[in-house]
Amino acid sequence: MADSAGLGPGDDAVTALPATVAIAGTGTAGDLLPLLAIGRRLVALGHAVTFITHAPYRERAQSAGLRFVALDTEEEYAALLADSAELVGGNHDLDLVEGTTGWYHSPERKLREYQAVADCVSDRDAVVIGRYLSAAPAMAAAEACGARGAWSLVSPHALQEGVATQALHGARKLDALNTDRKLFGLPPVEDWLDWTERVAVKVGLWPDWFAPDVNEWPRLFRTGFPCDASESGALPEEVWEFLSAGEPPVLITGGTGRMLVSNFFESAVNGVLRVGARAIVVNRHLRRPLHWPEGQVLVQPQLPFPALMRHLSAIAHHGGIGTCARALECGVPQVVLAEGVDRPDNAARLRRLGVAIDVPGPSWTASTIADALRVLAETPSVRSASEEAVLRLRGVDAADQAARLVAAHPW
């Protein structure tokens, strides 16, 4: 683990763990399950952890032994996901972002996050982990309470996101930050990006070989891809029956959010059918179209990917980092249909690793996706590169590494 004093599973540094950790973040499963995995490991090591996030994560957090504080209701989170569908490709349009997800930028919501963190931590031996940039209220609370801060970055793109945001909207972000700081009773700061860099170190939740171009980024520690235990489980009988009825299918998924272009699933399914393959479509928000043929297309709201992926011929997905990580761990060749936020950057990194075909969007067609699936099947190097990734990730407990790093807080 570069830049992290080489902490590993057997290090004595774990005896110096802080008593209290607050973890704050918003987003979808790809953003939050890595944080839950780290929190779960910290609890297993004997430490008090509070997870501050969306209401639907309450059961997962509490079953892992974490104290839980909801930032919203289940209905508010569902509305956020529905509204965020408008943000594909528009994440640098602040008017669009704030207009679409307005309540999450409201003083009420920010004060709730700030106070929830402040209630958990009180001294230098506490640590606050917050999703990079968006958990600014949590980091302000860490600053106010004298606790140590650690930004969590689920993908390398976040580093450039901060730089780009400063260049495009630095003055506006600074005004908003200082408005919030006044609400929290804190003095103003002079530079938005400088504050984000100064208030906390960065914990990159990817292996160094996934993004070698950022390995020298200042105050950046890297741990690998954390996978939470709640992502595991047994496959339903319906899925086993589908798997046993033919050749290994292609998995199609757009993650747990709704930030997808409108033709994503239709184009992907038709592309799979065009090459004579079967498809398992996983999305909790999708209503199955009647024209998708029974026996050829199975739709499920959610599935345990670690159990499913060993039975696939390929995966066609949106480029979310959680899906990328699970596919790398299982050695599944990938077709990536990336549009918006960090997804194109993730797709480019997978392509450079030789494990994926990147199909530019957003105007995907069944033909372009079918062509990509054919290339994937006819290129032996993709399979060998995918198998190499499995070997590189095998035996790496990224959640444990991240937990021990946070606990030892060597910064």
CA angle 246, 248, 252 (to 5 degrees): 115
| 77-91, 115-129, 185-199: least confident range | 77-91
pLDDT digits (tens, 9 = 90+) for 275-299: 999 999 999 888 888 789 989 999 9
Radius of gyration of the chain, Cα coordinates, nearest whole angstrom: 21
pLDDT digits (tens, 9 = 90+) for 32-47: 999 999 999 999 999 9
Report d(CA 30, CA 36) in Å as an integer: 11
| pTM of the entire predicted model | 0.91
| Structural element, H or E, at residue 167 | helix 157-184
For the domain spanning 233-393, the CATH number is 3.40.50.2000
Every domain range in the chain assigned CATH 3.40.50.2000: 12-224+396-408, 233-393
pLDDT digits (tens, 9 = 90+) for 148-178: 999 999 999 999 999 999 999 999 999 999 9
- Return mean pLDDT, the chain: 90
Structure-token pair, residue 189:
């700061």
Closest CA to 126 of 159, 108, 104, 149: 149
Q: How far is CA 328 from CA 2, 36, 379, in A?
A: 20, 20, 17
Name 92's Cβ contacts closer than 8 Å, sequence gap at least 6.
Answer: 164, 165, 168, 169
177 within 8 A of 199, measured Cβ to Cβ: no
- Environment class of residue 380 by beta-carbon count within 10 Å: exposed (0-12), middle (13-18) or buried (19+)? exposed
Report d(CA 243, CA 90) in Å as an integer: 38
Classify the C-alpha dihedral 334-253-35-140 as positive or negative.
positive
Name 303's Cβ contacts closer than 8 Å, sequence gap at least 6.
Answer: 235, 236, 239, 280, 282
Which residues make beta-bridge pairs with 300?
282
What pLDDT is attached to residue 252? Answer: 98
Fold (topology level) of 12-224+396-408:
Rossmann fold (3.40.50)
